[in-house]
Amino acid sequence: MSMIADFYGSKSILITGATGFMGKVLMEKLFRTSPDLKVIYILVRPKAGQTLQQRLFQILNSKLFEKVKEVCPNVHEKIRAIYADLNQSDLAISKEDMEELLSCTNIIFHCAATVRFDDPLRHAVQLNVTATKQLLFMATQMPKLEAFIHISTAFSNCNLKHIDEVIYPCTVEPKKIIDSMEWLDDAIIDEITPKLIGDRPNTYTYTKALGEMVVQQESENLNIAIIRPSIVGATWQEPFPGWVDNLNGPSGLIIATGKGFLRSIKATSVAVADLIPVDTVVNLTLAVGWYTAVHRPKSMLVYHCTSGNINPCNWGKMGLQIMATFEKVPFERAFRRPNADFTTNNFATHYWNAVSHRAPAIIYDFYLRLTGRKPRMTKLMDRLLRTVSMLEYFTNRSWEWTTYNTEMLMSELSPEDQRVFNFDVRQLNWLEYIENYVLGVKKYLLKEDMAGIPKAKQHLKRLRNIHYLFNTALFLIAWRLLIARSQTARNVWFFIVSFCYKFLSYFRASSTLKV
Ligand SMILES: CCCCCCCCCCCCCCCC(=O)SCCNC(=O)CCNC(=O)[C@H](O)C(C)(C)COP(=O)(O)OP(=O)(O)OC[C@H]1O[C@@H](n2cnc3c(N)ncnc32)[C@H](O)[C@@H]1OP(=O)(O)O
Ligand SMILES: NC(=O)C1=CN([C@@H]2O[C@H](COP(=O)(O)OP(=O)(O)OC[C@H]3O[C@@H](n4cnc5c(N)ncnc54)[C@H](OP(=O)(O)O)[C@@H]3O)[C@@H](O)[C@H]2O)C=CC1
């Protein structure tokens, strides 16, 4: 019997960010392992013309929830979508909903955040700091609350090389930052942002660090824990391998590479690619929720959910495996043949961006224009290169995260819980995981059918022939230009042409003789 599953069996759980990548997997696992749980409250906002109920319907009817429907047929009755907007200072929760949340909630999983690297500081502070503070304030008024689990990121202190499971203070207090956002105008905020974020690469990592400080300062008598995952990737095992539903982290780059848009990136092959499967993060999160509520540690614990220190994989190995999978299962309608060159050199990066990325995009747009269509490739390429440049910080460094608390927790679990809520990444086979990841991207993100693989392979062969033809034409043009200027080149050219001519004449003569 799983103690963790049993624990959640009778609880009312509040999840923020339930419509996000991690939130969906968290809900799925909760329902699958504890189908008797009382209720899951999810804080949702309407989005893209969809109401709360439509969004919920879409999630529950997705492939991810297929197994849940078997073990918990009345799952829709156990989810309560509550209107909330974390962009608003009071979270915009109605009075009635607030009363229900305050009186019933047993556990909170706070996953909502803006994960955009370049969000304006004001917005990132609102989502990742102020909303967290507001939620903590709500938590202090919940008489039945047993644990508050805050999802942060392993990169909140990416300005350090060695990171322990402790909160590192930022130079300016979160309270001061929150207050200043109220009276500073956008232009001034933009101006001071680089000074505030200091040696962190973006507003995301900075505001997640501020969020951790808020959690520490506002915890009062709450039972709180913080989880810091590294780069969250597709599912490893549960509910099935390779599930992914957004372009963040490596997923977008896998598409860009597989479709042949991106052929070279600035990355250090030997740097650790600290990926962690989303189901591993979810298993740790649920185990932490149980441990925090039942064992009530004296101080707030931080748990690192990383892979690099115990089962490292580097970008080089990852790139090779991604490419090997493209050979077996290519993506459909690729723009160019996939290629993944990793370079650390700035000059080489600029060179490849010009030759391998921008030039083909310009040529393709020229072709689109000639055929009366709207050019779009240059714009897409600019966006892609911007995204890649933002990820460069993470593909050219390695970090050391200690995982004492995570290991301690593993030793506290029963063998059954270690199996059902497995977060031991030592068992992860990277080659298998990456292959499933690429397959998952193809199936669940690109919605491509496996039956289209022969056609995709044929398309790649055609692209290879076009590539050869293009290179030959380019060589001949260059050569023609050269012989116009150099006597030696001209002599060599005439020698080759006369040689070919003689060879062809001999061939023709000998075949006439045979007849
Ligand atoms: C061989 C291969 C090696 C693989 C090698 C992998 C290295 C991978 C390192 C990861 C390292 C993370 C380490 C931190 C881990 C955390 O803790 S953070 C959580 C993860 N967060 C992220 O990854 C967020 C990154 N993304 C962003 O911040 C924003 O999307 C960007 C990059 C600033 C782009 O902003 P934008 O130009 O306004 O674009 P946005 O509106 O978001 O989207 C525009 C278009 O680009 C597309 N797009 C968005 N993001 C992406 C993307 N990542 N890729 C492609 N297209 C994208 C959108 O679908 C959209 O397309 P359309 O709908 O217009 O057709
Ligand atoms: N993905 C990763 O690589 C990593 C993620 N993390 C952390 O994990 C957590 C979850 O990330 P992930 O699932 O990947 O992120 P997603 O971007 O997929 O999900 C973010 C969630 O937050 C919600 N949200 C954002 N703004 C608001 C708002 N104004 N009001 C209400 N809800 C809002 C989103 O709702 P909506 O659907 O309406 O937009 C969505 O449900 C975050 O805290 C992140 O910092 C940590 C390390 C790595």
**Mean pLDDT, residues 391-420:** 97
Least confident of 88-102, 424-438, 481-495: 481-495
CB proximity list for 465: less than 8 A, separation 6 or greater: none
pLDDT category at 300 given cuts 50, 70, 90 is very high
**Mean pLDDT, residues 325-352:** 94
* pLDDT(513) > 70: no
Q: What is the ipTM metric for this complex?
A: 0.91
* pLDDT(512) > 70: no
List pLDDT tens digits, range 315-324. Answer: 999 999 999 9
User: Ligand 2, closest atom to CA 18?
Assistant: 41
| Residue whose CA lies nearest to ligand 1 atom number 10 | 249
Which conformational region is residue 493 in: left (phi greater than 0), alpha (psi within -120 to 50 degrees), or beta? alpha
| Residue whose CA lies nearest to ligand 2 atom number 38 | 45
> CA 177, CA 185: separation in Å to the nearest integer?
13
pLDDT category at 47 given cuts 50, 70, 90 is very high
User: Ligand 1, closest atom to CA 153?
Assistant: 17
* pLDDT(127) > 90: yes
- Alpha-carbon torsion, ordered 137, 140, 142, 147, to 10 deg: 100
Quick check: CB of 397 below 6 Å from ligand 1?
Answer: no
| Residue whose CA lies nearest to ligand 2 atom number 27 | 86
The three-state secondary structure class of 43 is: strand
pLDDT category at 515 given cuts 50, 70, 90 is low
394 Cα–ligand 1 center, Å = 13
387 Cα–ligand 1 center, Å = 6
Give 149 or 1, the one with higher predicted confidence: 149
> CA 243, CA 67: separation in Å to the nearest integer?
14
How far lies 456's CA from each of 155, 243, 335, 443, 461, in Å? 38, 22, 11, 14, 9
The predicted structure's pLDDT at residue 514: 61
pLDDT category at 497 given cuts 50, 70, 90 is confident
List pLDDT tens digits, range 187-244. Answer: 999 999 999 999 999 999 999 999 999 999 988 789 999 999 999 999 999 999 999 9
The three-state secondary structure class of 285 is: helix
Mean pLDDT of the chain: 95
| Residue whose CA lies nearest to ligand 2 atom number 11 | 22
Residue to mutate (ligand 2; options 111, 130, 156; most atoms within 8 A of CB): 111
Quick check: CB of 382 below 6 Å from ligand 1?
Answer: no
280 Cα–ligand 1 center, Å = 22
Residue 504 — φ and ψ, nearest 5°?
-65, -40
| Residue whose CA lies nearest to ligand 2 atom number 6 | 153
Q: How many Cβ atoms are within 10 Å of 456's Cβ, its own excluded?
A: 18
Ligand nearest to the CA of 381: 1
Contact at 8 Å (CB) between 403 and 311? no
Quick check: CB of 115 below 6 Å from ligand 1?
Answer: yes
| Residue whose CA lies nearest to ligand 1 atom number 19 | 115
> CA 260, CA 343: separation in Å to the nearest integer?
17
Q: How many Cβ atoms are within 10 Å of 161's Cβ, its own excluded?
A: 10
Least confident of 200-204, 327-331, 436-440, 468-472: 468-472
**Mean pLDDT, residues 146-160:** 98
pTM over 0.95: no
Quick check: CB of 231 below 6 Å from ligand 1?
Answer: yes
* pLDDT(511) > 80: no
> CA 167, CA 155: separation in Å to the nearest integer?
12
Q: How many Cβ atoms are within 10 Å of 143's Cβ, its own excluded?
A: 8
Instruction: Give kind and range of the element (H or E) at residue 232.
Output: strand 231-233
> CA 27, CA 420: separation in Å to the nearest integer?
15
Share of the chain above pLDDT 70, in %: 99
Identity of residue 326: F
Identity of residue 237: Q
Task: Point out which residues pair with 232 in neighbouring strands.
Answer: 276
> CA 196, CA 189: separation in Å to the nearest integer?
10
* pLDDT(456) > 90: yes
**Mean pLDDT, residues 241-253:** 95
As a residue count, the chain comes to 515
List pLDDT tens digits, range 53-78. Answer: 999 999 999 999 999 999 999 999 99
The predicted structure's pLDDT at residue 501: 86
Between CA 92 and CA 103, with CA 98 as vertex, the angle to 5 degrees is: 160
Ligand 2: residues with CB < 6 A are 17, 19-23, 43, 45, 47, 84-87, 111-115, 127, 151, 153, 208, 229, 231-232, 246, 248-249
CB proximity list for 95: less than 8 A, separation 6 or greater: none
Residue 126 — φ and ψ, nearest 5°?
-60, -50
* pLDDT(33) > 80: yes
> CA 342, CA 360: separation in Å to the nearest integer?
19
Instruction: Give kind and range of the element (H or E) at residue 6.
Output: helix 3-8
How far lies 210's CA from each of 279, 302, 471, in Å? 26, 15, 53
25 Cα–ligand 2 center, Å = 12
266 Cα–ligand 1 center, Å = 16
Ligand nearest to the CA of 276: 2
What is the chain's Cα-based Rg?
Answer: 28
Ligand nearest to the CA of 152: 2
